[in-house]
Chains A and B, each alone.
Chain A
Amino acid sequence: MRTAQQHRWVHGIAVLAILWAQSAFAHVQKGEAAGLLTGFLHPISGLDHVLAMVAVGLWGAQLGAPAIWVLPVAFPLVMAMGGMLGFMGVPLPGIEYGIAASAILLGAAVAFEVRAPLVVAALIVGFFAVFHGYAHGTELPPGQSALLYSMGFVIATGCLHAVGIGIGVVHQWTWGQRLLRAAGAVVAVGGVFFMWQAFG
Protein backbone atom coordinates (compact mmCIF):
# COMPACT_ATOMS: atom_id res chain seq x y z
CA MET A 1 0.00 0.00 0.00
CA ARG A 2 1.37 3.39 -1.00
CA THR A 3 1.30 6.19 1.49
CA ALA A 4 -0.31 9.57 0.83
CA GLN A 5 3.21 11.02 0.58
CA GLN A 6 4.06 8.61 -2.30
CA HIS A 7 0.81 9.50 -4.07
CA ARG A 8 1.65 13.17 -3.88
CA TRP A 9 5.00 12.54 -5.55
CA VAL A 10 3.40 10.50 -8.32
CA HIS A 11 0.82 13.21 -8.90
CA GLY A 12 3.49 15.87 -8.84
CA ILE A 13 5.62 14.12 -11.43
CA ALA A 14 2.59 13.54 -13.65
CA VAL A 15 1.58 17.20 -13.52
CA LEU A 16 5.20 18.22 -14.07
CA ALA A 17 5.41 16.01 -17.17
CA ILE A 18 2.17 17.43 -18.55
CA LEU A 19 3.22 21.04 -18.04
CA TRP A 20 6.67 20.40 -19.47
CA ALA A 21 5.15 19.79 -22.91
CA GLN A 22 6.79 21.79 -25.65
CA SER A 23 5.11 24.09 -28.14
CA ALA A 24 2.44 22.47 -30.25
CA PHE A 25 3.68 23.49 -33.74
CA ALA A 26 0.28 22.41 -34.93
CA HIS A 27 0.78 23.76 -38.42
CA VAL A 28 3.84 21.72 -39.35
CA GLN A 29 3.25 20.48 -42.86
CA LYS A 30 3.10 16.77 -42.11
CA GLY A 31 1.82 14.69 -44.99
CA GLU A 32 1.95 17.61 -47.42
CA ALA A 33 4.93 16.45 -49.45
CA ALA A 34 3.52 12.94 -49.44
CA GLY A 35 0.23 14.28 -50.82
CA LEU A 36 1.96 16.05 -53.69
CA LEU A 37 4.04 12.99 -54.51
CA THR A 38 1.10 10.59 -54.26
CA GLY A 39 -0.96 12.81 -56.53
CA PHE A 40 1.89 13.15 -59.00
CA LEU A 41 2.49 9.42 -59.13
CA HIS A 42 -1.18 8.48 -59.50
CA PRO A 43 -1.59 9.22 -63.24
CA ILE A 44 1.94 8.05 -64.02
CA SER A 45 1.65 4.73 -62.23
CA GLY A 46 -1.43 3.64 -64.19
CA LEU A 47 -0.73 2.66 -67.78
CA ASP A 48 -4.35 3.30 -68.78
CA HIS A 49 -3.99 6.93 -67.67
CA VAL A 50 -0.58 7.28 -69.30
CA LEU A 51 -1.79 6.01 -72.69
CA ALA A 52 -4.81 8.31 -72.77
CA MET A 53 -2.89 11.39 -71.61
CA VAL A 54 -0.10 10.90 -74.10
CA ALA A 55 -2.71 10.33 -76.83
CA VAL A 56 -4.23 13.73 -76.03
CA GLY A 57 -0.84 15.33 -76.67
CA LEU A 58 -0.30 13.30 -79.84
CA TRP A 59 -3.71 14.22 -81.22
CA GLY A 60 -3.14 17.88 -80.40
CA ALA A 61 0.19 17.73 -82.26
CA GLN A 62 -1.51 16.20 -85.29
CA LEU A 63 -4.28 18.82 -85.28
CA GLY A 64 -1.79 21.68 -84.87
CA ALA A 65 -2.55 25.14 -83.47
CA PRO A 66 -4.73 26.03 -81.65
CA ALA A 67 -5.73 22.45 -80.72
CA ILE A 68 -2.17 21.66 -79.66
CA TRP A 69 -2.63 23.87 -76.60
CA VAL A 70 -6.43 24.07 -76.30
CA LEU A 71 -6.69 20.33 -75.62
CA PRO A 72 -4.05 20.29 -72.84
CA VAL A 73 -5.71 23.36 -71.28
CA ALA A 74 -9.23 21.91 -71.55
CA PHE A 75 -8.31 18.47 -70.24
CA PRO A 76 -7.08 19.44 -66.72
CA LEU A 77 -9.99 21.81 -66.22
CA VAL A 78 -12.63 19.22 -67.07
CA MET A 79 -10.64 16.48 -65.35
CA ALA A 80 -10.81 18.62 -62.22
CA MET A 81 -14.62 18.55 -62.47
CA GLY A 82 -14.43 14.75 -62.43
CA GLY A 83 -11.99 14.88 -59.53
CA MET A 84 -14.37 17.18 -57.66
CA LEU A 85 -17.16 14.62 -58.08
CA GLY A 86 -14.79 11.97 -56.77
CA PHE A 87 -13.81 14.08 -53.74
CA MET A 88 -17.46 14.75 -52.99
CA GLY A 89 -18.31 11.08 -53.21
CA VAL A 90 -20.86 11.57 -55.99
CA PRO A 91 -21.38 8.12 -57.55
CA LEU A 92 -20.32 7.83 -61.18
CA PRO A 93 -20.69 4.39 -62.75
CA GLY A 94 -18.44 2.81 -65.35
CA ILE A 95 -15.22 4.66 -64.51
CA GLU A 96 -12.90 1.88 -65.65
CA TYR A 97 -14.88 1.46 -68.90
CA GLY A 98 -14.70 5.21 -69.51
CA ILE A 99 -10.93 5.26 -69.00
CA ALA A 100 -10.42 2.27 -71.27
CA ALA A 101 -12.75 3.79 -73.89
CA SER A 102 -10.75 7.01 -73.76
CA ALA A 103 -7.58 5.14 -74.69
CA ILE A 104 -9.41 3.29 -77.51
CA LEU A 105 -11.05 6.37 -79.05
CA LEU A 106 -8.17 8.81 -78.57
CA GLY A 107 -5.75 6.16 -79.87
CA ALA A 108 -8.01 5.59 -82.86
CA ALA A 109 -8.23 9.34 -83.48
CA VAL A 110 -4.42 9.47 -83.62
CA ALA A 111 -4.13 6.25 -85.63
CA PHE A 112 -6.56 7.51 -88.29
CA GLU A 113 -5.37 11.11 -87.93
CA VAL A 114 -8.95 12.29 -87.51
CA ARG A 115 -9.19 16.00 -88.39
CA ALA A 116 -12.02 16.86 -86.01
CA PRO A 117 -13.11 20.50 -85.57
CA LEU A 118 -11.61 22.09 -82.49
CA VAL A 119 -14.89 22.17 -80.55
CA VAL A 120 -15.58 18.49 -81.26
CA ALA A 121 -12.03 17.51 -80.29
CA ALA A 122 -12.28 19.53 -77.07
CA LEU A 123 -15.65 17.95 -76.24
CA ILE A 124 -14.33 14.41 -76.80
CA VAL A 125 -11.23 15.07 -74.72
CA GLY A 126 -13.27 16.82 -72.02
CA PHE A 127 -15.82 14.00 -71.82
CA PHE A 128 -13.14 11.41 -71.13
CA ALA A 129 -11.27 13.73 -68.80
CA VAL A 130 -14.14 13.40 -66.32
CA PHE A 131 -13.50 9.66 -65.91
CA HIS A 132 -9.77 10.13 -65.35
CA GLY A 133 -10.36 12.94 -62.86
CA TYR A 134 -12.97 10.93 -60.97
CA ALA A 135 -10.58 8.00 -60.62
CA HIS A 136 -7.90 10.31 -59.20
CA GLY A 137 -10.37 12.05 -56.88
CA THR A 138 -11.67 8.88 -55.26
CA GLU A 139 -8.20 7.60 -54.43
CA LEU A 140 -6.90 10.35 -52.15
CA PRO A 141 -5.11 8.49 -49.34
CA PRO A 142 -6.36 9.45 -45.86
CA GLY A 143 -4.26 11.97 -43.97
CA GLN A 144 -2.76 13.61 -47.02
CA SER A 145 -3.36 17.14 -48.23
CA ALA A 146 -6.21 17.16 -50.76
CA LEU A 147 -4.91 20.36 -52.34
CA LEU A 148 -1.38 19.09 -52.85
CA TYR A 149 -2.64 15.70 -54.00
CA SER A 150 -4.82 17.54 -56.54
CA MET A 151 -1.96 19.73 -57.68
CA GLY A 152 0.22 16.64 -58.00
CA PHE A 153 -2.09 14.77 -60.33
CA VAL A 154 -2.95 17.87 -62.35
CA ILE A 155 0.76 18.59 -62.90
CA ALA A 156 1.50 14.95 -63.76
CA THR A 157 -1.36 14.91 -66.26
CA GLY A 158 -0.04 18.09 -67.86
CA CYS A 159 3.44 16.58 -68.05
CA LEU A 160 2.05 13.50 -69.80
CA HIS A 161 0.33 15.77 -72.32
CA ALA A 162 3.66 17.54 -72.82
CA VAL A 163 5.30 14.18 -73.49
CA GLY A 164 2.67 13.51 -76.17
CA ILE A 165 3.17 16.95 -77.70
CA GLY A 166 6.94 16.46 -77.58
CA ILE A 167 6.68 13.15 -79.42
CA GLY A 168 4.24 14.83 -81.81
CA VAL A 169 7.01 17.13 -83.05
CA VAL A 170 7.92 14.36 -85.51
CA HIS A 171 4.62 15.03 -87.28
CA GLN A 172 6.42 17.50 -89.56
CA TRP A 173 8.13 14.59 -91.34
CA THR A 174 6.42 11.90 -93.41
CA TRP A 175 8.03 9.10 -91.43
CA GLY A 176 7.01 10.91 -88.29
CA GLN A 177 3.37 11.00 -89.36
CA ARG A 178 3.48 7.24 -89.87
CA LEU A 179 5.16 6.80 -86.51
CA LEU A 180 2.46 8.84 -84.77
CA ARG A 181 -0.28 6.82 -86.40
CA ALA A 182 1.43 3.62 -85.29
CA ALA A 183 1.69 5.06 -81.77
CA GLY A 184 -2.04 5.83 -81.89
CA ALA A 185 -2.72 2.22 -82.85
CA VAL A 186 -0.64 1.01 -79.90
CA VAL A 187 -2.66 3.26 -77.58
CA ALA A 188 -5.94 1.94 -79.00
CA VAL A 189 -4.80 -1.67 -78.57
CA GLY A 190 -3.81 -0.87 -75.01
CA GLY A 191 -7.29 0.57 -74.50
CA VAL A 192 -8.86 -2.65 -75.78
CA PHE A 193 -6.75 -4.60 -73.29
CA PHE A 194 -7.89 -2.40 -70.41
CA MET A 195 -11.50 -2.66 -71.56
CA TRP A 196 -11.16 -6.46 -71.57
CA GLN A 197 -9.71 -6.28 -68.07
CA ALA A 198 -12.57 -4.04 -66.92
CA PHE A 199 -15.09 -6.58 -68.14
CA GLY A 200 -13.11 -9.40 -66.57
Chain B
Amino acid sequence: MSGVSKSRPPIYAMVVLALALCSKPAEAHLNSTGMGPIYDGLMHFLTSPEDLVPALALALLAGLRGATYGRQALFTLPAAWLLGSLLGLAAAATTGSAVLSSFWFLLMGGLVAADAKLSLRVTTALAALLGLYHGYLNGTGMGQSVSAILAVLGLVLAVFVLIALAAAFVVQLRAHWARIAVRVAGSWIAASGVLLLGWAVRGS
Protein backbone atom coordinates (compact mmCIF):
# COMPACT_ATOMS: atom_id res chain seq x y z
CA MET B 1 0.00 0.00 0.00
CA SER B 2 1.50 3.26 -1.03
CA GLY B 3 2.10 5.75 1.74
CA VAL B 4 0.57 3.68 4.55
CA SER B 5 2.74 1.88 7.01
CA LYS B 6 1.62 -1.69 7.73
CA SER B 7 2.78 -1.44 11.34
CA ARG B 8 0.68 1.69 12.09
CA PRO B 9 -3.13 1.45 11.95
CA PRO B 10 -4.82 4.38 10.22
CA ILE B 11 -5.99 7.10 12.59
CA TYR B 12 -9.63 6.81 11.53
CA ALA B 13 -9.65 3.14 12.50
CA MET B 14 -8.97 4.19 16.08
CA VAL B 15 -11.68 6.84 15.88
CA VAL B 16 -14.11 4.21 14.57
CA LEU B 17 -13.20 1.88 17.41
CA ALA B 18 -13.62 4.63 20.01
CA LEU B 19 -17.05 5.66 18.68
CA ALA B 20 -18.23 2.08 18.31
CA LEU B 21 -17.34 1.44 21.93
CA CYS B 22 -19.38 4.39 23.19
CA SER B 23 -22.48 3.77 21.06
CA LYS B 24 -25.81 4.82 22.47
CA PRO B 25 -28.82 2.61 23.12
CA ALA B 26 -31.26 2.30 20.24
CA GLU B 27 -34.33 3.44 22.22
CA ALA B 28 -36.31 1.95 19.40
CA HIS B 29 -39.51 1.45 21.28
CA LEU B 30 -39.82 4.51 23.45
CA ASN B 31 -40.92 8.03 22.83
CA SER B 32 -38.37 10.42 24.19
CA THR B 33 -39.98 13.17 26.19
CA GLY B 34 -36.63 14.58 27.26
CA MET B 35 -37.88 14.37 30.84
CA GLY B 36 -36.42 11.02 31.77
CA PRO B 37 -37.41 7.36 31.44
CA ILE B 38 -40.41 7.51 33.81
CA TYR B 39 -42.09 10.12 31.63
CA ASP B 40 -40.99 8.23 28.50
CA GLY B 41 -42.84 5.15 29.77
CA LEU B 42 -45.84 7.20 30.77
CA MET B 43 -46.04 8.86 27.36
CA HIS B 44 -45.51 5.55 25.61
CA PHE B 45 -48.71 4.24 27.18
CA LEU B 46 -50.67 7.42 26.58
CA THR B 47 -49.66 7.61 22.91
CA SER B 48 -50.10 3.92 22.08
CA PRO B 49 -53.77 3.28 21.32
CA GLU B 50 -53.08 -0.47 21.10
CA ASP B 51 -52.33 -0.36 24.84
CA LEU B 52 -54.46 2.54 25.97
CA VAL B 53 -57.82 1.65 24.46
CA PRO B 54 -58.23 -1.94 25.83
CA ALA B 55 -57.17 -0.68 29.28
CA LEU B 56 -59.74 2.10 28.99
CA ALA B 57 -62.37 -0.43 27.95
CA LEU B 58 -61.60 -2.52 31.02
CA ALA B 59 -62.01 0.58 33.19
CA LEU B 60 -65.39 1.29 31.57
CA LEU B 61 -66.48 -2.33 32.02
CA ALA B 62 -65.45 -2.39 35.68
CA GLY B 63 -67.04 1.01 36.25
CA LEU B 64 -70.36 -0.15 34.80
CA ARG B 65 -70.39 -3.07 37.25
CA GLY B 66 -69.72 -0.91 40.31
CA ALA B 67 -67.15 0.22 42.84
CA THR B 68 -66.03 -3.27 43.89
CA TYR B 69 -65.19 -4.20 40.33
CA GLY B 70 -63.47 -0.87 39.84
CA ARG B 71 -61.27 -1.34 42.91
CA GLN B 72 -60.37 -4.87 41.83
CA ALA B 73 -59.41 -3.72 38.33
CA LEU B 74 -57.53 -0.74 39.77
CA PHE B 75 -54.99 -3.01 41.46
CA THR B 76 -55.10 -6.10 39.26
CA LEU B 77 -54.41 -4.48 35.90
CA PRO B 78 -51.36 -2.39 36.90
CA ALA B 79 -49.93 -5.30 38.93
CA ALA B 80 -50.33 -7.70 36.00
CA TRP B 81 -48.95 -5.07 33.62
CA LEU B 82 -45.89 -4.66 35.85
CA LEU B 83 -45.36 -8.42 36.07
CA GLY B 84 -45.77 -8.82 32.31
CA SER B 85 -43.35 -5.95 31.65
CA LEU B 86 -40.71 -7.43 33.94
CA LEU B 87 -41.08 -10.78 32.19
CA GLY B 88 -40.82 -8.98 28.87
CA LEU B 89 -37.66 -7.16 29.90
CA ALA B 90 -36.00 -10.50 30.43
CA ALA B 91 -37.18 -11.89 27.11
CA ALA B 92 -35.96 -11.40 23.59
CA ALA B 93 -37.47 -8.51 21.65
CA THR B 94 -40.65 -9.41 19.86
CA THR B 95 -43.37 -7.62 18.01
CA GLY B 96 -47.02 -7.72 18.96
CA SER B 97 -49.60 -9.36 16.80
CA ALA B 98 -52.11 -6.94 15.31
CA VAL B 99 -54.63 -9.79 15.22
CA LEU B 100 -54.28 -10.26 18.99
CA SER B 101 -54.52 -6.50 19.54
CA SER B 102 -57.74 -6.44 17.53
CA PHE B 103 -58.98 -9.37 19.64
CA TRP B 104 -58.59 -7.28 22.80
CA PHE B 105 -60.39 -4.35 21.19
CA LEU B 106 -63.23 -6.62 20.09
CA LEU B 107 -63.51 -8.49 23.38
CA MET B 108 -63.32 -5.54 25.75
CA GLY B 109 -65.33 -3.19 23.53
CA GLY B 110 -67.95 -5.86 22.91
CA LEU B 111 -68.31 -6.56 26.64
CA VAL B 112 -68.77 -2.85 27.37
CA ALA B 113 -71.28 -2.43 24.52
CA ALA B 114 -73.26 -5.44 25.74
CA ASP B 115 -73.01 -4.25 29.37
CA ALA B 116 -71.96 -7.82 30.14
CA LYS B 117 -72.79 -8.92 33.67
CA LEU B 118 -69.51 -10.73 34.32
CA SER B 119 -68.62 -12.05 37.74
CA LEU B 120 -65.94 -10.32 39.77
CA ARG B 121 -63.66 -13.31 39.29
CA VAL B 122 -63.97 -13.28 35.50
CA THR B 123 -63.44 -9.52 35.35
CA THR B 124 -60.34 -9.87 37.50
CA ALA B 125 -59.04 -12.67 35.29
CA LEU B 126 -59.60 -10.50 32.22
CA ALA B 127 -57.70 -7.64 33.86
CA ALA B 128 -54.82 -9.98 34.70
CA LEU B 129 -54.62 -11.41 31.19
CA LEU B 130 -54.87 -7.99 29.58
CA GLY B 131 -52.12 -6.61 31.81
CA LEU B 132 -49.82 -9.60 31.33
CA TYR B 133 -50.17 -9.57 27.55
CA HIS B 134 -49.70 -5.85 26.99
CA GLY B 135 -47.10 -5.53 29.73
CA TYR B 136 -45.07 -8.36 28.20
CA LEU B 137 -45.14 -6.68 24.78
CA ASN B 138 -44.14 -3.35 26.30
CA GLY B 139 -41.31 -4.97 28.24
CA THR B 140 -39.79 -6.76 25.27
CA GLY B 141 -39.38 -3.51 23.38
CA MET B 142 -37.57 -1.61 26.10
CA GLY B 143 -34.19 -3.29 26.35
CA GLN B 144 -32.60 -4.35 29.62
CA SER B 145 -31.22 -1.21 31.18
CA VAL B 146 -32.09 0.55 34.43
CA SER B 147 -33.86 3.24 32.46
CA ALA B 148 -36.09 0.52 30.95
CA ILE B 149 -37.22 -0.48 34.44
CA LEU B 150 -37.97 3.16 35.23
CA ALA B 151 -39.89 3.45 31.97
CA VAL B 152 -41.94 0.40 32.96
CA LEU B 153 -42.72 2.06 36.29
CA GLY B 154 -43.89 5.20 34.51
CA LEU B 155 -46.00 3.11 32.17
CA VAL B 156 -47.61 1.17 35.01
CA LEU B 157 -48.26 4.42 36.85
CA ALA B 158 -50.10 5.72 33.79
CA VAL B 159 -52.18 2.51 33.68
CA PHE B 160 -53.08 2.95 37.34
CA VAL B 161 -54.11 6.58 36.90
CA LEU B 162 -56.16 5.80 33.79
CA ILE B 163 -58.03 2.97 35.51
CA ALA B 164 -58.60 5.05 38.63
CA LEU B 165 -60.00 8.04 36.75
CA ALA B 166 -62.05 6.21 34.12
CA ALA B 167 -63.56 3.59 36.42
CA ALA B 168 -64.37 6.18 39.11
CA PHE B 169 -66.00 8.39 36.49
CA VAL B 170 -68.24 5.57 35.26
CA VAL B 171 -69.06 4.22 38.73
CA GLN B 172 -70.70 7.48 39.75
CA LEU B 173 -72.86 7.71 36.62
CA ARG B 174 -76.50 7.26 37.55
CA ALA B 175 -78.42 8.67 34.58
CA HIS B 176 -79.61 6.00 32.17
CA TRP B 177 -78.45 7.95 29.12
CA ALA B 178 -74.97 8.36 30.61
CA ARG B 179 -74.57 4.61 31.05
CA ILE B 180 -75.84 4.15 27.47
CA ALA B 181 -73.18 6.61 26.33
CA VAL B 182 -70.53 4.42 27.98
CA ARG B 183 -71.90 1.40 26.11
CA VAL B 184 -71.84 3.35 22.85
CA ALA B 185 -68.16 4.10 23.54
CA GLY B 186 -67.69 0.34 23.94
CA SER B 187 -69.25 -0.23 20.53
CA TRP B 188 -66.81 2.29 19.05
CA ILE B 189 -63.92 0.35 20.61
CA ALA B 190 -65.24 -2.93 19.23
CA ALA B 191 -65.75 -1.32 15.81
CA SER B 192 -62.15 -0.10 15.88
CA GLY B 193 -61.14 -3.68 16.69
CA VAL B 194 -62.96 -4.99 13.62
CA LEU B 195 -61.15 -2.43 11.48
CA LEU B 196 -57.81 -3.25 13.08
CA LEU B 197 -58.45 -6.91 12.32
CA GLY B 198 -59.10 -6.03 8.66
CA TRP B 199 -55.86 -4.10 8.54
CA ALA B 200 -53.98 -6.98 10.18
CA VAL B 201 -55.41 -9.50 7.72
CA ARG B 202 -54.45 -7.25 4.83
CA GLY B 203 -50.94 -6.84 6.23
CA SER B 204 -50.44 -10.57 6.62
Contacts and interface: CB of A to CB of B under 8 A. Distances in A.
A137 B195 contact: yes
A23 interface: yes
A199 to B, nearest CB: 30
Contacts of B31: 25, 27-29
B187 A77 contact: yes
B192 interface: yes
Interface string B173-200: 0000000100110011011111111110
Contacts of B131: none
Interface residues of B, number: 45
A83 interface: yes
A23 B194 contact: no
Given A12-B15, A19-B16, A24 B26 contact: yes
Given A27-B141, A80-B195, A72 B49 contact: no
Given A15-B16, A81-B194, A87-B195, A147 B183 contact: no
B138 to A, nearest CB: 11
B interface, over-half SS: helix
B92 interface: no
Contact of B195 (A16, A19, A150): A150
Contact of B192 (A19, A23, A147): A147
A34 interface: no
Given A3-B3, A24-B26, A73 B194 contact: no
Interface of B: 1-4, 10-12, 15-16, 19-20, 23-32, 44, 47, 49-50, 53, 113, 141, 180, 183-184, 187-188, 190-199, 201-202
3 smallest CB-CB distances across A and B, nearest first, come from: A84-B198, A12-B12, A150-B195
6 contacts: A25-B30, A27-B31, A69-B184, A80-B190, A84-B201, A150-B191
